[in-house]
Structure 1
Amino acid sequence: MTEGQDELEAQFAQWRHYVQRRRELRQTDADELEDHLRGSVDELVSAGLHADEAFLVAVKRMGSLDDLSREFAREHSERLWKQLVLTGDTDGPVADTRSRRDLFAMVVCALGAAASIKVPELFGLEFERDGAFYAPNAALFAFPWLAAFLAWRRKAPRALMGVLLALFALGAVAANAYPLGEESMSVVLTSIHLPIALWFVVGLAYVSDDLRSPRRRMDFIRFTGEWFVYTVLIGLGGGVLIGFTVGTFSAIGISPETFVGQWLVPCGGMAAVVVSGWLVEAKQSVVENIAPVLTRLFTPLFTLVLLAFLVAFGISSGGIDVEREALILFDLLLVVVLALLLYSISARDPLAPPGLFDKLQLALVVSALAIDVLVLLEITGRISEFGTTPNKAAALGENIILLANLTWAAWLLLGLVRRSTPFAALERWQTTYLPVFAVWAWIVVLVFPPVFGYL
């Protein structure tokens, strides 16, 4: 079997795997659909098309004949399939009904998220006053509703729904059961790490239609980036709305600060989390054109910043400040580098040859690795000299986890640039490593407070 035939059979296997997941189809139906698809591919190959081109055209033809094939093309992560298949008419009755149902489910979940953040007021808590409560609990007001929307859209099994509820309940216990003071370092750590842990619970709802698929995990990475873009855009629009609200009402002698601070900001923020998820699901073609451009723009900029920092560090004689704010800053910097790498991987054509951008990514990762090593040396030195704190222990663990991830990613990127390692190996490494981040976030939230005496 030739290499082209191997790739074609792999595409048939992906399509067949999708069809077999549909409960409403019997095995004989799936076999009939595959026979029809193979016949179309054979005809197109005989007409002079390459095998991969024939497959894409055949899927497009089936997309116009069969709603199942159209849905497969819609949900499959390969952008080329979506561009080819979804260019036809999508305003049919089935698609229109599904869009209305998704919209209704989104509105219900968004209203639920908006109402959830007002529930603590029934127990005497206020959003503007009780920051020590709302900071660690913020994600618990919105993420369960976003997960509910995604699980409903994916038709998640009941057993998995129970797992999702249990994990969110565990998060609620972690945020509220420990006797933490307002100045406790564990409050800050929980406020940072609990949203990360719960976001992976949202990811579990996102991949509930195929839990074991590495491709679906990569889809969730892509979803995360697109959700972030939409959330930022909604936030910017909300800022403009708040400005106009305050300005216009103040002009007539009415002070809207109470409404803005107690209703518009908290309720709108929680609802925006769900709305952004719905927008990613419903309007992917818009962000798919924006997000890759953002990665192409910021990857070279961050590479220059990291290289400039390393040069400045080499010239200067001072060390790195590893107090709490600096630790958070450096960890965020490394997370941003990892996010740029992950999102560029998710948007990359797997079959494209290595190019200049891949070399630029290698430089970015190597620069981040060098900074990671420098920070690790500083942290271990301070711990050995002054002892550990929750912040330093969390930063140490996170830097070790990032060091392992980025080290192997750099090695795979080097192999990709040298054309000795396939791109699939890099993609598989990142999707396989995702649970490590989730486990560490849960450890910080659940284990650190009692281990460090609730400091």
Structure 2
Amino acid sequence: MRERRETGVAQGPVDGEGLEVQIEQWRLYVQRSRAVTASDADEMEDHLRAQVADLGATGLDDDEAFLVAVRRMGSVDAVSREFAREHSERLWRHLVLVPDDGDSSGRTSWRELLVVLALGVGAGLAVKAGLVLLDDESLFLRNVGLLVLPFLAGYLAWKRRLTPPVLAALAAPFVVLAVVLNVYPFEPLGSTEVIAALHAPVALWCAVGLAYVGGRWRADENRMDFVRFTGELAIYFTLLAIGGGVLLGLSAGVFEVAGLDFEPLLESWVLPFCVPGAFVVAAWLVEAKQDVVENIAPVLTRVFTPLTLVMLVVMAGVLVASGDLAAADRALLILVDGVLLLVLALLLYSISARDPLARAGVFDALQLALVVAALAVDAVALTAMLTRIAEFGATPNKVVALGLNLLLLVHLVVAAWLQLRFLQGRRPFAALARWQTRYLPVYGAWAVAVVVLVPPLFGFV
């Protein structure tokens, strides 16, 4: 797993461990950062040794001097950010496909790239076959997650070299959901079928998380790594989609000038292969170039947090001004759920991108304001949903939306409380991070329950 937020130094010296051994261990940890080259590490080591020598002259022994010197130099993350700022041109060198530090690593990278491309093509073939064989639109929508996500999970399983027992546990949710989604007698495009189709990818994404953490799902830091992976995957996939959209637009223009119709080729071949293939490639980019996005993540969270806060305040005003909550438009309530999920995703990604050793600051207070605003919107939405259910009765959509809002309410209330205590200096940031990661499996369990239990409870309508 990625050890991004540690200092890289033990809290206390190991008996009998010499200064040179400690410095070597520190240097190896520093060099894990892609922003720090070997020459940078030499410079940092010289500075560290000078600090140790100065502290030793004051009467400290080697172990004490080493620990104090490392503390003074700051966390590896801070050093990495400083080197990234001073050598911004390295960002582009991080994006090359094959490293230049030896033939062995180059062969490894090319082998991994070939595996990724093969799995991307496999995902495209699966989607294309699904479009042909599952000629029923509703049947295809039910199974789209099953056509793509196994290839992504397969890449992560190959990357992590999972053991047969873990692979069997990883395959189980895919098999169970495949049976449920294709055996249940859904009414075509009925409420329960749409609900199951929307929640199945969420449940399957939890299975992908099992592959990502290598089966070690119980560790908080592993789940937080998966949160980072999810956010970075969204960033890379969006960048690939934008670039691919430009290329497709130019291609369509050329076809139009030549008097040819590009749309059939686009719908039948290009999109079925490019979209799922880009999803797998984006996952590979996250794995291979994770430190590049890590420099972008804090910027994105600081840009979108205040914008989302303004949007929530406006939305709360619109909901309150709408008057009769029972008459609130269903589309508006669906949009509210979407916004709350966006807030949750932004909160999780912000926490995953934050240095846990840093003190509370203005941005942490802004995040608390964001969560409080989300709670206000969620309270209004919950009131509207309960009012509608009381007046018009329960339906699958209403019950599922109500359950999701209750889950979000619990998540955000505890998050707000822990954020407040952190700002007050009464709880460490680690407590807030632990709550986020430990609550995530609840969403996976909820998604499975919606897919498996809700359809038969409402007669598959």
Q: Report the TM-score when normalising by structure 1.
A: 0.82
Equivalents in 2 of 1:319, 1:339: separation in Å? 27
- Counterpart secondary structure, 1:197: helix
Aligned to 1:352: 358
Aligned to 2:152: 146
Q: For residue 332 of structure 1, report the CA deviation from its aligned partner.
A: 1.1
1:430 maps to amino acid: Q
CA RMSD of aligned residues (A): 3.2
Contact 1:206 1:220 in 2 (8 A): yes
Contact 1:416 1:422 in 2 (8 A): yes
Task: Report whether the alignment pairs 1:117 with 2:127.
Answer: yes
Contact 1:190 1:445 in 2 (8 A): yes
Q: For residue 223 of structure 1, report the CA deviation from its aligned partner.
A: 0.6
Alignment deviations for residues 262-292 of structure 1 (CA, whole Å, 9 cap, x no partner): 1111111111110110011112233222222
Q: For residue 97 of structure 1, report the CA deviation from its aligned partner.
A: 2.9
- Counterpart secondary structure, 2:323: coil
Equivalents in 2 of 1:434, 1:375: separation in Å? 22
Contact 1:41 1:54 in 2 (8 A): no
Aligned to 1:74: none
Equivalents in 1 of 2:147, 2:17: separation in Å? 44
2:349 maps to amino acid: Y
Equivalents in 2 of 1:330, 1:285: separation in Å? 33
Aligned to 1:420: 426
Contact 2:256 2:262 in 1 (8 A): yes
Q: 1:391 to 1:253 in 2, by over 3 A?
A: same
Q: 1:302 to 1:176 in 2, by over 3 A?
A: same
Which stretches of structure 1, 4 residues or more, deviate above 6 A after TM superposition?
31-36, 81-90
Task: Report whether the alignment pairs 1:381 with 2:381.
Answer: no
Equivalents in 2 of 1:98, 1:318: separation in Å? 62
Aligned to 1:67: none
Equivalents in 2 of 1:453, 1:333: separation in Å? 30
Q: For residue 217 of structure 1, report the CA deviation from its aligned partner.
A: 0.8
Aligned counterpart for 1:406 among listed residues 388, 408, 412: 412
Contact 2:326 2:388 in 1 (8 A): no
Q: For residue 323 of structure 1, report the CA deviation from its aligned partner.
A: 5.2
Task: Report whether the alignment pairs 1:392 with 2:398.
Answer: yes
Alignment deviations for residues 380-437 of structure 1 (CA, whole Å, 9 cap, x no partner): 2221222111111111111111111100000000011111110000001011111000
Equivalents in 2 of 1:186, 1:234: separation in Å? 33
Q: For residue 165 of structure 1, report the CA deviation from its aligned partner.
A: 1.4
- Identity of matched residues, %: 42
Alignment deviations for residues 280-323 of structure 1 (CA, whole Å, 9 cap, x no partner): 11122332222221111110011111122334444553437555
1:9 maps to amino acid: A
Aligned to 1:51: 67
Task: Report whether the alignment pairs 1:200 with 2:184.
Answer: no
2:113 maps to amino acid: L
Task: Report whether the alignment pairs 1:176 with 2:182.
Answer: yes
- Counterpart secondary structure, 1:141: helix
Q: 1:268 to 1:40 in 2, by over 3 A?
A: closer
- Counterpart secondary structure, 2:243: helix
Aligned counterpart for 1:166 among listed residues 157, 165, 172: 172
Equivalents in 2 of 1:157, 1:167: separation in Å? 17
Equivalents in 2 of 1:104, 1:32: separation in Å? 47
Alignment deviations for residues 89-137 of structure 1 (CA, whole Å, 9 cap, x no partner): 86234432331222121111111101111223553x44xxx43122222
Aligned to 1:38: 22
Q: 1:383 to 1:436 in 2, by over 3 A?
A: same
Structure 2 unaligned spans of 5+: 1-6, 27-47, 56-64, 85-89
- Counterpart secondary structure, 1:447: helix
Equivalents in 1 of 2:167, 2:71: separation in Å? 36
1:252 maps to amino acid: A
Structure 1 unaligned spans of 5+: 1-5, 14-30, 60-77
Aligned to 1:97: 107
Aligned to 1:454: 460
Aligned counterpart for 1:366 among listed residues 372, 376, 400: 372
Q: For residue 451 of structure 1, report the CA deviation from its aligned partner.
A: 0.8
Counterparts in 2 of 1:286-305, with a 5 A limit?
286-305=292-311
- State which drifts further: 444-453 or 169-178: 169-178
1:145 maps to amino acid: F
Alignment deviations for residues 132-184 of structure 1 (CA, whole Å, 9 cap, x no partner): 12222221111110111011111111111111112111222232221222330
Aligned counterpart for 2:331 among listed residues 298, 322, 325: 325
Aligned to 1:3: none
Q: 1:213 to 1:251 in 2, by over 3 A?
A: same
Contact 1:223 1:280 in 2 (8 A): yes
Contact 2:19 2:66 in 1 (8 A): no
